[in-house]
Structure 1
Amino acid sequence: MPDASHNDAVLIFPAGMPRALEFLGQCRRQGRKALGASSLAYDPARQRYDRWLTLPYVTAADFDAALRRAVAEHGVTGIYTPHVVVWDYLNRRLADIAPGVALLNASPLDEELAAYRTALDAAPAFLSQPLPLASSLPAQPPQPEAEIAALLRHFAAIPGMCDLDKLKALYEIARRCPQGDVVEIGSWWGKSAFALLWLAQRYAIGKLLCVDPWENAQLLQHDADPLVDRLAADRLDADEALRIFQINLLPYSRNDCNYLRMGSLEAAAHYGRQPTVQTPGFGTTAYQGGIALLHIDGNHAYDSVKADIEAWSVHMADGGWIVVDDYRWPFGDGPRRAGDEFLQTHRATIRAAFVAGGALYLQRAAH
């Protein structure tokens, strides 16, 4: 008879694989009892588990009997396995070995490939629905389907609020962009920064400069719904965000990406004086001093957005694009007010203007 104190246990096998350890964390957060198991004589993951047992390899003749004993002795009601072969075997045999015990996860192979399959399925639609933009510059050719699938896959892996509608719009304006620097105000974890870097490389636009103070105090919107400020104060860590940004951008940098950890206005002054940036991770990056694509996604308070546009737009190249993010934003109207004012003031020099993915896109007329 199973020990009553061990009832309703989850068996994790093999217990040392990365997805197994992730599932162990889920069990602990949910208060579920977890039993780790391995076929190795020594498995370093053993110290991560409160309870542990050794099972034969799934190819061994006595595996079924050993698993049956483990289920009975430990009150196992479910099994989680991230191993493709073990999962396939249990999917076929578990009902006979231990009737009533559930296999808790779907095929690990399907789980591993799901994000890639999603990207491959989405790429044709991404390419088949181009935006009809009235641009000053002709559109460069679209990227091959495999390249778009790669963009979608890696974009999806980075946390952030930038959605596919906005990615699509950024892709379309990048195809109609002059040469020059690509500047982003407000990068945080680097989701849109990755997209901008990828696009700048594919369309030979120029180097990417990311500007963000990475300070929690700078996240406060002040005139926005207090829900945003409360989240910034309680849940977000600026130092962690910078480290995540570096993890996300460093693998793709070809000495064509860097960042300034400072406020937007201070960074604009630095850019105007000497457009060269040096950081330990990204090295030294020399910029042209003229901006082909400006993405404004810093503090969303009206005064901050207006100041960002004024400070950086003076460096715009002819035919360059200004993107004001969150022009449609449920927590405040700062980006919309500042964007509308800029459009009204500079209407004579704006060649194209549209809204997509919640952002405002403005193209300066090319001479």
Structure 2
Amino acid sequence: MNTSKVLVFPLDIDDTDAFIRTAKALGFAVIGASSAMAGPEGKTVDSFIRLPFITDPAFDRALQGALEQHAVTTIHAPHQGVWRHLNTLLKAHPGRFRFTLCSPDPFSATQQRFAPHEAWAASMSSGKPLAGLAAPQSICPPLSPARYSALHRQFLGIPGDSDVGKLHALCDIARLLPPGDLIEVGCLYGRSAFALGYLASQYALGSMICVDPWNTAELTDQGAAAAIINVELANTDIDSEKIFRVFLNATALLENVGYIRKTSEKATGEYEAAIRNGVLHSPELGSIPVSGKLSLLHIDANHRYDHVRRDVELWSPYLAEGGWLLLDDYVWAFGDGPRRVGDELLGSPLYDSAFVSGDTLFLRRTGVS
């Protein structure tokens, strides 16, 4: 049993929420402390204490007493001034103050948190196309480093299985796409949908339409090899409505994103209606224009062979010349549905270029009907 106790001071900083969740997941007892708050005020700490401000001459003695009374072993101080004062106490009075101060200091921690985004952006801004793509005659310029960095940060902040390798590929593909709608079949929390919607807005491609029922009652198993995943269909702890709310949270700041909350089969009818009206309306996200030609189609729903094949049959006729079809999990540990469908398409005259990035197969549509 973990007997370590962490003091979080000052508690009244937003960054403490993530730290508290992590500490409690690791089995630490968490004590909140503040000089300004009268109580924990909704923070999920195990107990709460008041401490004087660090500028108060009584602070050092009050802190020493709190450490002894609560058997605190570690302090997390997300305020730069507080961290610096605590670090000074440790160096000046090692006999009186025996605790571990979480490092690095808040300023350095912030720089470390953003550095990976900036490093990834620097690699993207080189202008080099993805290795799997032949050099095209016409390609849009890369985004600025700041925009790539912001996209990378937001992307990783959304739950999902798509990794940064796939994000890299999506960024490169976006520079080649013809104008048109983008459709993703199977969106879950919206990680890749957000990336596609953002890139579509940056390159003025068109609207991003997300197709997903967000309803576990309408889902079917993904084959025998995916038994470890299929069992979740009966998991009553999974609330699909909460997953849908996360999706909205992830995409609502993009004005070109809409959704059809139906299965793939049923969604085609609604897409056809939207084509006739020239617009798709999504509750809470508003209305977006619909062209009826797809710039990109991302298939990421049920991975069983018959489902993947049916999704391709339903949606690929809308693909514009030069548009791209993406089959998620072409390389998959729990079955071969996407691979079988992808291999069939690789021999089709409807696609003239293909490559695999990470686990996804990318195919470009020809002008052949």
TM-score between the two structures when normalised by the length of structure 1: 0.89
Greater percentage in helix: 1
Task: Answer yes or no: is the 8 Å Cα contact 1:355–1:361 preserved in 2.
Answer: yes
2:108 alignment counterpart = 110
Distance 1:352 1:270 in 2: 30
**137 and 291 in structure 1: CA distance in 2 versus 1, 3 angstrom threshold:** farther
Which residue is equivalent to 2:196? Answer: 196
Aligned to 1:215: 215
CA shift digits 1:178-219 (9 cap, x unpaired): 111111101110100011011111111111110001122416
CA contact (8 A) 1:224 1:301 kept: no
- 1:239 maps to 2:235: no
Q: Tell me the equivalent position of 2:358.
A: 357
Q: CA deviation at 1:73?
A: 2.8
Q: Compute the displacement of 1:91 (Å).
A: 2.0
Deviation larger for 7-16 or 198-207: 7-16
The answer on whether the counterparts of 2:185 and 2:210 sit within 8 Å (CA) in structure 1 is yes
| Conserved? CA contact 1:16–1:43, under 8 Å | no
118-127 vs 216-225, which deviates more?
Answer: 216-225
Q: Secondary structure at the match of 2:297?
A: strand
What's the counterpart of residue 118 of structure 2? Answer: 120
Closer/same/farther in 2, CA of residues 78 and 198 from structure 1, 3 Å limit? same
Partner in structure 1 of residue 129 of structure 2: 130
Point out where structure 1 has 5 or more consecutive residues left out of the alignment.
1-6
TM-score normalised over the length of structure 2: 0.89
CA RMSD of aligned residues (A): 2.4
Alignment partners' CA distance in 1, 2:12 and 2:267: 46
Shift of 1:47: 8.1
Does the 8 Å CA contact 2:12/2:37 hold for their aligned counterparts? no
TM-superposition CA deviations, 1:313-366 (whole Å, max 9, x none): 11111111111111001111001111212332x2x2322111112111111124
- Structure 1 residue aligned with 2:148: 148
Indicate the residue corresponding to 1:250 in structure 2: 252
- Mapped contact 1:135–1:176 kept (Cα < 8 A): no
SS at match of 2:73: strand
Aligned residues between the structures: 357
C-alpha deviation, 1:28, in angstroms = 4.4
Letter in 1 for 2:121: A
- From 27, 31, 37, the equivalent of 2:33 is 37
**Is the 8 Å Cα contact of residues 13 and 79 (structure 1) preserved in structure 2?**
yes
C-alpha distance in 1, partners of 2:99/2:220? 48
Q: Which moved more, 1:127-136 or 1:165-174?
A: 127-136
- SS of equivalent residue, structure 1 residue 36: strand
Partners of 2:281 and 2:97 lie apart in 1 by 62
> In structure 2, what residue type is equivalent to 1:180?
G
Task: Provide, for residues 18-65 of structure 1, a one-character-per-residue CA deviation record: whole Å limited to 9, x for no partner.
Answer: 333444444544554333322126345388555332211011222112
Instruction: Give the 3 Å change call, closer, same or farther, for CA 66–186 of structure 1 in structure 2.
Output: same
In 1, Cα distance between equivalents of 2:328 and 2:281: 27
Moved more, 44-53 or 88-97: 44-53
* Separation in structure 2 between the aligned mates of residue 182 and residue 137 of structure 1, nearest angstrom: 23
Match of 2:314 in 1: 311
Q: How does 1:1-367 map to 2 (within 5 A)?
A: 9-40=5-36, 42-43=38-39, 45=41, 49-95=45-91, 96=93, 98-128=96-126, 129-132=128-131, 133-134=133-134, 138-217=138-217, 218=219, 220-234=221-235, 236-251=238-253, 253-254=254-255, 256-275=256-275, 276-344=279-347, 346=348, 348-366=349-367
Residue type of the alignment partner of 1:362: L
Structure 2 vs 1, CA of residues 189 and 12 (structure 1 numbering), >3 Å: closer, same or farther?
A: same
Q: Distance in 2 between matches of 1:31 and 1:321?
A: 47
Question: For 2:220 and 2:121, how far apart are their aligned partners in 1?
Answer: 34
Unaligned runs of 5+ in 2: none
Identity among equivalent pairs (%): 37
Change (3 A) 1:50 1:355: closer
